[in-house]
Structure 1
Amino acid sequence: MKYKKLFSEGMIGNLKLKNRIVMPAMGTSLATSTGEASDEIIRYYEERAKGGCGLIITEITRIDNETGIGTPNQLCVTDSYQIPRLQKLTRAVHKYDTKIFTQLHHPGRQAHSSSLNGKQIVGPSPIASKAIGEIPRELETLEVENLVKKFIKGAKISQLSGFDGIELHGAHGYLICQFLSPATNKRTDKYGGTFMNRMRFLTEIIMGIRHICGKDFPISVRIDGDEFIEGGIDINESIKIARYLESIGIDAINVSSGTYESSITIIEPVSYKEGWKKHLSQSIKENIKIPVIACDSIKRPEIAENLLETNNLDFVALGRAQLADPEWGNKALNGKEDQIRSCISCLKCIELIMNGKRIECAVNPRVGMEIDFEEFKKDGDQRKVVIIGGGPAGMQAGINLAKRNFTPIIFEKEDHLGGSVFLGSKPPMKEKLKWFIDNMENELKDLNVDIRLNTKANIDLLKNINPYAIFIATGAKPIIPNIEGINSKNVYTAEQILSEKTEIKNKKIAVIGSGMTGLETAEYLNNKNNELTVIEMQKDIAPGTYLPNLMDILPRIKKEKINLLTSKKLVKINENSIELMNMNTKKIEILETDLIVLSLGVQSNIEIVEEIKESFKNIKIIGDVEKPGRIFDAMRSSFDKSYVL
């Protein structure tokens, strides 16, 4: 066996796990409006169990309906009527010898009054989270005591429902963490002040659960190895917390990091390397004897195995990795790790959840809809289907159609697959996009899909094949503004730059457009010893970009001294300069520059669409040809249309 440690049995308390793969808690909003386990959430967790996961920890699970609402349609353990559906969930997971814990949660000050029916949010002390902007009401001592009872009740409901244990969410700046942290707990009663007083809330919860559920019902506590906020929990404090928790008899520590104020250290953007915070779990593991679970942005089995071999942790928490590919465990076990659909750290999953929507995944269109997209119908009868374009949309269509026993043929005019995503992998720290493309290509090859590179489809070629259907996935092309000088030799598109067909060094370059593509292209060119200025017509850099992604790249842009100009509109291109209109004063400003790179968005590449429609009837338009968007949009469009052809 290649990954011996990863697939060895492990123990949490008296509970035996079949391997070292843990799916940590991730919000889904797939439960019913009453907090019961819906068919959708049951199927979602069952698929990860079937895919080879050893332990599943449910999404943040509500213990209090008054002040503890974390997300809409959140799984709850607040009332006994929820038990029957929870039993159905645990039974579905147990079919595959997978164990399941409930994660008991209260958001505390990291909630919004709008989600609490207008009630003021609560916390240990009246200190607002900078990420929320609302001052919480300080909980009275009696209220804290009542919340202890609600956590205990939630654990008992979990036990009665067949769960194998529980996890207490004491990380990420939520309520338990708020009591533990000196940055958020300024109380003067028995629940604040000294270390032991700050531990009291969690201690009473643990002791109550032990009393009600018994000593053999496993308890894990998720803690921050570092909150990454001023005055908060650091690694020294977290070691102290972990040692104390071990002394009072918990069964495992789950190490994470961050709060909403340092959110990109919880759910990391694309630049964060696998294992970037392994020092946190390592330091804690060196100081305790109970098992350590740790999440560390792990995507690949070899990295997980290495962490286990070096005794960095006892169980590997793979969250988004198992969203992107629920078969992660089975593929690693069976030597098909090169086909694991890689998480690209685009943050689409958490962006949806934080905006009150149900979970979805950019690279796995079935997430949250497993019940709607069950097994593929084997109804293709080997009929030929042509796919024009080998970007993510075309590749996903090829995979789906091959699984349905069609005979897909992919035509790609370039010498590689991946389309714009292949180009998107070129800027610094974007290698995960290439992993994603490589994984899909490996899957296509395993399915024996006919891939014809360096081949541009035309009507004669298509008529010669006479396909049952044609999927047009030709992507999008750059928007080119109609301004004076736009056709000059010193004007490039971001796509031309990232294609690496032209080597550009030691130049003064203006990038027009500050979206993520523009910023990443600027960073790419900056690494080649060029002088960069990014120009944005709007008043803010990267308007409409999901904030954590911007939080990731902007500090690097500023550190690299890339100049950022806002409220400036390109109006003319000269040989050695450009003319910009100041959007506030309407005056023209001159900027000296050697080269101009356009990154102004894209428009559908429809040049062949009408011609094909005139000659063929069964046409499907997918991806950016249908409507320009992100990887998420292209993959969903492709998956849906190739699922029902």
Structure 2
Amino acid sequence: MAFDALFTPGTIGSLTTRNRIVKSPNTTATCNPDGTVSQRTVNHYRALGEGGPGLVMVEYTYVDDDASKSIHGQPGASNQNHVAGLGWLADEIRATGARAGLQLVHCGRQRFLGTAPMKSASRSSWDVAEMSFGVTPEPMTPDEIAGVVRSFGEAAGRVYAAGFDLVEIHAGHGYMITNFLSPFTNDRTDAYGGSAENRARILLEIVDSVRANVPADFPVSVRVSVSDYEPGGITIDETVELCRRLEEHGVTVIHASGGHHARMEYEVSGWFMERQPHRWGWEKIKAAVTVPVIGSGSLVTPEVAEDVVSSGSADFVSLGRAMIADPAWAEKARTGRRLEIVPCIRCNDGCLHRGLDLKRSTGCTVNPQMGEEGRFPVGTAATPLRVAVAGGGPAGLRAAAALHDRGHTVVLFEPGELGGALNHAVGSTVKQDLAGLREHLVHEVERRGIEVRREAADAAALADGFQQVVLATGAPQRTFGGPVSGVPPVLGPGEISARREELAGRRVVVVGGGFQGCESSLRLAEIPGTEVTVLEAAGALMRGDEVKYDVFSLPGRMAEAGVTVRTDAEVVAVAEKQVELAGGELVDADAVVLALGREAAPTTLKDDLGRAGVPVVAVGSAQKHGRVYDALHSAYFAARLI
């Protein structure tokens, strides 16, 4: 498929871009503690520019040295000491052929440093931040508001001096300006509270301040949330009217996203959410303004992005996590290598759960080099070997491709369908991103011409002529400890897709309320007519090592899908048309899915190879059970050392 609309040059005021793709300003937390740019920051943004987008937006940058800084490793534009590094960064981006933009922010109540002062429109706090840090917002005084307005303008002047092509004001996602815009977080009674006009006052003053500090033809963007999706919060009607007024005040482009941190499933949508969730909103904005509109939010694939632009839904598309997953997203789409794009699976594991939330820099589940661009290349092995990879799941597929790229002769052993544990995602709407990863990983093995033997690997076969073995045989499903007899059919989570027709219209009981059981229930709920019940022995769902964003959001999504959940419900037996709970209660079931997680992988094969003198390394769940992150990272880093 050609993506002609995506690769048509675009215009934002005086600025021309080589295509309609914008790299969204995702946080990397790679800057120095004083907000100056580091080599890691430059390496990251250079790689993004080389990947082919039209405009690269640098992550949110704080504007003053009082209360605007949000997070560790954040860039600053609060004083002249920041300009030299910002200039270095702008030059590196522009040298790739991309245009360079930078986003300015005041964090408001979303200050994750854990320190005072925290300044916002009102005392309304986000409970998670308050519980975590014990800091509540202080309402900004009129003098403080005037100071922040001035700081935005002065910071914009520094951005222009540094050589950027565009500056953006962040007025979305729950940060300070949004705290004023939303009636949910603004209970002021002065000129900055009450009516929609008053709540928008600070933003319009900031726009005027920015305009006064940059040339008249310098492009100014404002990023808005079409809605914060908060009951009693920002409505689309207010946002549309706001965008009309922003255009009157000289804003050059509207960058439309949605959500905020307390409704994170809308701001950084998870795998269980629909793609392009804010399209309904930015289309209303586009109909009301004459300046270009950038559509943002889970535009994961080139097909989705192309449709947005070709249909006239938005003038540009903004890609965030998609280009963290693959900085070369744009270039691969442009040159017809769509299946070579490493797809974002919207897991929020590497970027947030194991990254920013641990006070680390941003990482990525599917891109082990995120934030360390150029430091850990695959490289060419000094001595080519004949290497066997046992297992065609995500770890085995990733290892096989990397080993081939190092110059080794690779043979992949897999008796079943390539994809392993990822195959459960095929055919499921809620797991479409994971199905895309499976398609990509299989494609990467096939396009390299790696030999695949459709047989199970045993010690004798792996010792026959191979100088190295990579074990990627996964881990077995945990077995049910009680008796199982008669009907209903008892399935594992991986069997749901293949038996959709059989399960349609049936009462299905899922035993286990960990992540595996919860995601299985959502896949089952997609099947027409199913009545899905999850039984969990513990007092709450997902009590293990799950990604916290899944823990926050999945119960609500399950309820919306019509899934019944019972906790403190230990299943002790599966019998005909029923499951039995501890205490003797019987629950009707036409089918049962045992979703009890996985056990530790057996070591027999590894031990046998060791005794045979064959060097062996285990990756993925064959090494230690984990998530997709663990499978891909362990495979990549093991392969580059062989």
* C-alpha deviation, 1:31, in angstroms: 1.3
Residue pair 2:258, 2:297 contacting (<8 A) in 1 also: no
CA RMSD of aligned residues (A): 2.5
Which amino acid letter does the alignment assign opposite residue 366 of structure 1?
Q
Which amino acid letter does the alignment assign opposite residue 634 of structure 2?
S
Tell me whether 1:23 sits opposite 2:23 in the alignment.
Answer: yes
Residue pair 2:424, 2:496 contacting (<8 A) in 1 also: no
- Deviation digits for residues 95-139 of structure 1 (CA, Å, limit 9, x no counterpart): 211111111111212225xx243x252211222235545642111
- Deviation digits for residues 303-354 of structure 1 (CA, Å, limit 9, x no counterpart): 2222112211111101111111111111111111122111111122233324
Q: State the secondary structure of the residue aligned to 1:602.
A: coil
1:169 corresponds to? 170
Change (3 A) 1:557 1:205: closer
1:476 corresponds to? 475
**Which has the higher mean CA deviation after the structures are superposed, 490-499 or 562-571?**
490-499
Written as runs of structure 1 = structure 2, the 5 A alignment for 1:153-302 is: 153-302=154-303
* C-alpha deviation, 1:396, in angstroms: 1.0
Residue pair 1:6, 1:19 contacting (<8 A) in 2 also: yes
Which amino acid letter does the alignment assign opposite residue 635 of structure 1?
L
CA distance in structure 2 between the aligned counterparts of 1:128 and 1:501, rounded to whole angstroms = 45
Written as runs of structure 1 = structure 2, the 5 A alignment for 1:553-564 is: 553-564=554-565
Tell me whether 1:366 sits opposite 2:366 in the alignment.
Answer: no
1:123 corresponds to? 120
2:402 corresponds to? 400
* C-alpha deviation, 1:242, in angstroms: 0.8
CA distance in structure 2 between the aligned counterparts of 1:517 and 1:138, rounded to whole angstroms = 43
Change (3 A) 1:487 1:149: farther
* C-alpha deviation, 1:539, in angstroms: 1.1
2:414 corresponds to? 412
Alignment counterpart, residue 353 of structure 1, candidates 356, 362, 380: 356
Which amino acid letter does the alignment assign opposite residue 15 of structure 1?
L
- Deviation digits for residues 216-257 of structure 1 (CA, Å, limit 9, x no counterpart): 322110011122122322221111111111111111110111
Residue pair 1:510, 1:532 contacting (<8 A) in 2 also: yes
Q: State the secondary structure of the residue aligned to 1:263.
A: helix
Residue pair 1:105, 1:168 contacting (<8 A) in 2 also: yes
Written as runs of structure 1 = structure 2, the 5 A alignment for 1:307-318 is: 307-318=308-319
1:10 corresponds to? 10
1:332 corresponds to? 333
Q: Which runs of 5+ in 2 are unaligned?
A: none
Q: State the secondary structure of the residue aligned to 1:387.
A: strand
Q: State the secondary structure of the residue aligned to 1:160.
A: helix
Change (3 A) 1:333 1:592: closer
**Which has the higher mean CA deviation after the structures are superposed, 349-358 or 286-295?**
349-358
* C-alpha deviation, 1:52, in angstroms: 0.6
Written as runs of structure 1 = structure 2, the 5 A alignment for 1:556-595 is: 556-575=557-576, 577-581=578-582, 589-593=585-589, 595=591
2:626 corresponds to? 629
Which amino acid letter does the alignment assign opposite residue 609 of structure 1?
K
Tell me whether 1:532 sits opposite 2:529 in the alignment.
Answer: no
Change (3 A) 1:149 1:421: same
* C-alpha deviation, 1:530, in angstroms: 4.6
Q: State the secondary structure of the residue aligned to 1:127.
A: coil
Change (3 A) 1:229 1:489: closer
1:601 corresponds to? 597
Which amino acid letter does the alignment assign opposite residue 364 of structure 2?
C
* C-alpha deviation, 1:621, in angstroms: 0.8
| TM-score between the two structures when normalised by the length of structure 2 | 0.92
Q: State the secondary structure of the residue aligned to 2:599.
A: strand
Alignment counterpart, residue 377 of structure 1, candidates 376, 379, 393: 379
CA distance in structure 2 between the aligned counterparts of 1:574 and 1:482, rounded to whole angstroms = 14
Written as runs of structure 1 = structure 2, the 5 A alignment for 1:466-545 is: 466-485=465-484, 491-498=490-497, 500=499, 503-504=502-503, 508-526=507-525, 527=527, 529-544=529-544, 545=546
* C-alpha deviation, 1:594, in angstroms: 5.2
Which amino acid letter does the alignment assign opposite residue 12 of structure 1?
I
Percent of pairs with identical residues? 28
Change (3 A) 1:485 1:279: closer
CA distance in structure 2 between the aligned counterparts of 1:242 and 1:418, rounded to whole angstroms = 46
Change (3 A) 1:46 1:287: same
Q: State the secondary structure of the residue aligned to 1:410.
A: strand
Residue pair 2:423, 2:494 contacting (<8 A) in 1 also: no
Written as runs of structure 1 = structure 2, the 5 A alignment for 1:90-129 is: 90-112=90-112, 115-117=113-115, 119-129=116-126
- Deviation digits for residues 268-314 of structure 1 (CA, Å, limit 9, x no counterpart): 11233333332222211121111111113112222222211221111
Residue pair 1:170, 1:176 contacting (<8 A) in 2 also: yes
CA distance in structure 2 between the aligned counterparts of 1:10 and 1:490, rounded to whole angstroms = 56
* C-alpha deviation, 1:558, in angstroms: 2.5
Residue pair 1:380, 1:406 contacting (<8 A) in 2 also: no
Change (3 A) 1:485 1:287: closer
CA distance in structure 1 between the aligned counterparts of 2:189 and 2:487, rounded to whole angstroms = 70
1:584 corresponds to? none
Change (3 A) 1:595 1:380: farther
| TM-score between the two structures when normalised by the length of structure 1 | 0.92
Residue pair 1:399, 1:443 contacting (<8 A) in 2 also: yes
Written as runs of structure 1 = structure 2, the 5 A alignment for 1:428-467 is: 428-452=429-453, 454-464=454-464, 466-467=465-466
Change (3 A) 1:594 1:169: same
Change (3 A) 1:560 1:191: closer
Which amino acid letter does the alignment assign opposite residue 148 of structure 1?
V
Change (3 A) 1:244 1:370: same
* C-alpha deviation, 1:589, in angstroms: 4.1
Which amino acid letter does the alignment assign opposite residue 7 of structure 1?
F
Which amino acid letter does the alignment assign opposite residue 538 of structure 1?
A
Q: State the secondary structure of the residue aligned to 2:387.
A: strand
Which amino acid letter does the alignment assign opposite residue 221 of structure 2?
S
CA distance in structure 1 between the aligned counterparts of 2:127 and 2:611, rounded to whole angstroms = 57
Q: State the secondary structure of the residue aligned to 1:477.
A: coil
CA distance in structure 2 between the aligned counterparts of 1:63 and 1:49, rounded to whole angstroms = 25
**Which has the higher mean CA deviation after the structures are superposed, 340-349 or 127-136?**
127-136
Residue pair 1:69, 1:116 contacting (<8 A) in 2 also: no
CA distance in structure 1 between the aligned counterparts of 2:500 and 2:279, rounded to whole angstroms = 38
* C-alpha deviation, 1:504, in angstroms: 4.2
CA distance in structure 1 between the aligned counterparts of 2:435 and 2:259, rounded to whole angstroms = 28
Residue pair 1:391, 1:420 contacting (<8 A) in 2 also: yes
CA distance in structure 1 between the aligned counterparts of 2:146 and 2:520, rounded to whole angstroms = 54
Residue pair 1:490, 1:575 contacting (<8 A) in 2 also: no
CA distance in structure 2 between the aligned counterparts of 1:287 and 1:598, rounded to whole angstroms = 52
- Deviation digits for residues 579-624 of structure 1 (CA, Å, limit 9, x no counterpart): 433xxxxx55444545543211112333422112222432111001
2:343 corresponds to? 342
Residue pair 2:257, 2:267 contacting (<8 A) in 1 also: yes
Aligned length: 633
2:84 corresponds to? 84
